[in-house]
Chains A and B, each alone.
Chain A
Amino acid sequence: MHYAGIAALSISGLDVFAGDKKNIAMNNPADIWKWNTPAHYYTKTEKGIVCGLCPNACLITLNGKGMCRTRVNFKNELYAINYGNPCSINSDPIEKKPLYHFLPQSTAFSLATAGCNYTCLNCQNWQISQVSPFDTQNYDLFPKEIVAYALKNNCKSIAYTYTEPVVFYEYVYDTAQLAHQEGLKNLFISNGSINEAPLRKLCKYLDAANINLKSFKEDIYRKLNGGKLATVKKSLKIFKEEGVWLEITNLVVPGWTDDLDMIKEMCDWLYDEGFADCPLHFSRFFPTYKLTQLPATPIDTLNKAHDIALAAGIRHVYIGNVPGTEYDDTYCPKCKKKIIERRGYTILSNNIKDGKCGFCNEKINGVWK
């Protein structure tokens, strides 16, 4: 019951829709949170509810919340309290996700709710990821409105992004279904920390994903991110098996994830496991959140990582967060010519024709139209 007071304080002046409020509200206890929905994956035990969505497997006692701060045990049932309550919405170029081989130069309706199942020391969005929906200003925006606004604003896709979409799984799932019905694509920008069953179910409606492979050592994953490498590796395989277009991001954090031997090990694993055609984005770290004492990643480290990945057999390797880098462009892996030239999020030239290099006819993997 203590939620009611907090919820009342948290309702911002941003209520913009009547939408499906009535139906949602009728299905849910009124005093838990203004909108919510029963969670999809959980098990009841004598000690409480065990959430089955992600590998954290939080044991949530009565009136308690999961580590992600979005799943609440109310009267011994689990509810997702972020449903229909995005705290951030934007219209982004798809290159910002980053997705470089999927509908280039298109726009994605991008949204996030509060919460995350990781605790990254370097989180860029910690103001919304490391809090609960009670603490953010939220919009009331239900799946069919999202789809309607996406269409109205000429978006080709909906991106579940910024925080961690795994923790607003039910919201993603419902929206993604409706989006497909209207011809919109679904983009999942995630840490990949999700259990197999919910992931496979969701993949039916996902078209592309960018998974943040944060490092390649379990102890670093645990200390830096509060996550597990094994789960992410497994998720990568599932995305591939389910036919979701996949790109991978690796943030190079000085002193944490910049070990070139580890990067080589990661690239070798990606190649061996059949991810050679998945674009790999090395991203530059900038001091933030709990790692403000660190310097930004040296450009040379990123360049070396880039070269290691190419040598390992990854066909498309990019460097992100570095204005002025030549590795923001797409090169044909066969003839080595520049086939897409980018400046920031803008494409200056695109020489891919029918999914092939315009110079040598080599197939360039991706979803280009």
Chain B
Amino acid sequence: MRLLQRKNKRRMEIKKAKFIPVLILAAVLLICFAFTSKPHFTIKVINQKPDPWEEQLNVLNNLVMQTSSINLLHGLSLSKEQAQRLIPLAMQVDQLNLNLSLNTTYYNNELQKICNTYKNLIGELTQDKDLSDTLKNEVMRAREKHSEIIKRSLLATQTPGYHADGCRECHAAPEQFPSGNISGKDTRPITPEDRKEIDLAHVKGLFGEEGTLLLWNLRDQVDEILTNEQKYVFNQFRCCLIPQEDVSNPGIFGQSFVTNEWIEYFRKVRQLNDNEWQDYKSLFIIPLADILEAKMPGIKKKDKQKMLDEAEKVITDSRKLDAVDFELQKENLCVSLSNALKTDLLNGEANRQPEDRKFVAALFLLYPGSSAFYMKLCGQQ
């Protein structure tokens, strides 16, 4: 009887939740990958066995989300008391027994390589190890490849006559991918409203209806545990593979930009004389284009060019500074370059509303496996 009541209550809550356009921003990153897909509302129930391509998409999503959650937990400076209060909430999510299988049959070798790189990354991050440059480079390559695959999957759905359900509605399977160079091809435009639906769909793809609702219902309890300063983090938190190393502001979490690596980038740019710069400029700009495409597979050609032009201006300005002025301005230059390449305004992620922020906090702080982190934290302290 109690179970029945609970089920009825949940059904009502689900119904209610459907009208709350909140869960929105949640998926944050997955978002990026789905940017230009048109919204779909058919969500797979987790207990149903997904088709291999859907399973592959979910495995990739899960790896990115898990990595982001680990980076967040390591960076958020939670106290033992906070960890103790989060444990029972995280265990509720664990008890959903989500099928986030990492031992899937890989759709092809390329996807297996990407997943293996992400798994290696998670292994290192879980042990709180410093990441080697080699691994960082592998992750960057994997992410570029990952983004390219997502873009091809989006473009394939624009083929006349294409029709599919579930994840395939927006992400066609590899056998349907367009061949050749796709960098000049635009994907279908979406609106900020589409964005919210897409984000929610990606969360539901991993957590199912029940899991998504549970996160939604736990959001206030998670919010109560956090300090105002920690809550602030979730206004802007973006998924991230490499933990943030922001030299200008340690309060920034998520996708990092202003790192020592970028300062080195500027140093290399400055080493070239004017002739060399004209000859080799493209070698420095192309990686920026790759980053933009990785962050936002569906970025429009026009938008991308505008951002690259702005970035080139910042880089060119950096070459005009003398050695001392450069040292004094290097972090500002990184901030300017970061702003030039910011996609938040384009993809609708810029302004997160309070309820969205709470949901995003619940999503990442209660991500499956986080209870183990909290228990370890309590043991250590």
Residues of chain A touching chain B, judged by Cβ–Cβ distance below 8 Å, are 14, 16, 89-91, 109, 139, 141, 145, 149, 152-153, 155, 284, 295, 298-301, 303, 321-326, 328-329, 343-346
Contact = CB atoms under 8 A, between A and B. Distances in A.
Nearest to B251: A344
Interface in B322-381: 322-325, 327-332, 380-381
B323 A326 contact: no
A16 B324 CA distance: 8
A91 B330 CA distance: 9
B232 A343 contact: yes
Contacts of A109: 328
Given A14-B323, A139-B323, A324 B328 contact: no
A298 B80 contact: yes
B249 A299 contact: no
B178 interface: no
Contacts of A298: 79-80, 380-381
A86 to B, nearest CB: 10
A90 B77 contact: no
A328 B230 CA distance: 12
Given A324-B227, A326-B228, A343-B232, A90 B79 contact: no
B233 interface: yes
B249 to A, nearest CB: 4
Contacts of A323: 75-77, 229, 233, 250-251, 253
B229 A326 contact: yes
B381 to A, nearest CB: 4
A295 B380 contact: yes
B264 to A, nearest CB: 14
A161 B93 CA distance: 47
Nearest to B76: A324
Given A14-B323, A295-B380, A344-B250, A303 B227 contact: no
B229 A328 contact: yes
Interface in B201-215: none
A346 B332 CA distance: 14
21 contacts: A14-B323, A89-B324, A90-B331, A91-B327, A91-B332, A149-B324, A149-B325, A152-B325, A153-B329, A284-B77, A298-B79, A299-B381, A323-B233, A323-B253, A324-B229, A325-B77, A343-B232, A344-B246, A344-B251, A344-B252, A345-B251
Contacts of B193: none
Contacts, number: 88
A96 to B, nearest CB: 9
A346 B79 contact: no
A90 to B, nearest CB: 6
Nearest to A141: B324
A89 B327 contact: yes
Given A16-B323, A300-B81, 17 more contacts: A14-B323, A89-B327, A89-B328, A91-B328, A109-B328, A139-B324, A139-B327, A145-B324, A153-B328, A298-B80, A298-B381, A299-B77, A324-B76, A324-B229, A343-B251, A344-B251, A345-B251
B235 to A, nearest CB: 10
Contacts of A300: 79-81, 381
B3 to A, nearest CB: 39
Contact of A91 (B80, B323, B329): B329
Nearest to A152: B325
A188 B324 CA distance: 21
Nearest to A92: B331
Interface in B228-271: 228-230, 232-233, 246, 248-253
A284 B252 CA distance: 18
Interface in B278-330: 322-325, 327-330
B78 interface: yes
Contacts of B246: 344
Listed residue (B246, B380, B381) with the most chain A CB atoms within 10 angstroms of its CB: B381
Interface in B61-87: 75-81
Nearest to B246: A344
A358 B278 CA distance: 55
A84 to B, nearest CB: 13
B196 to A, nearest CB: 26
Contacts of B323: 14, 16, 139
A90 B380 contact: no
B278 to A, nearest CB: 23
B270 to A, nearest CB: 12
B79 A299 contact: yes
Listed residue (B252, B253, B324, B330) with the most chain A CB atoms within 10 angstroms of its CB: B324
Contacts of B322: 16
Interface string B151-186: 000000000000000000000000000000000000
Nearest to B232: A343
A322 B77 contact: yes
Contacts of A325: 77, 227, 229
A141 B328 CA distance: 13
B153 to A, nearest CB: 36
Given A323-B75, A346-B249, A299 B80 contact: yes
Nearest to B230: A324
B250 to A, nearest CB: 5
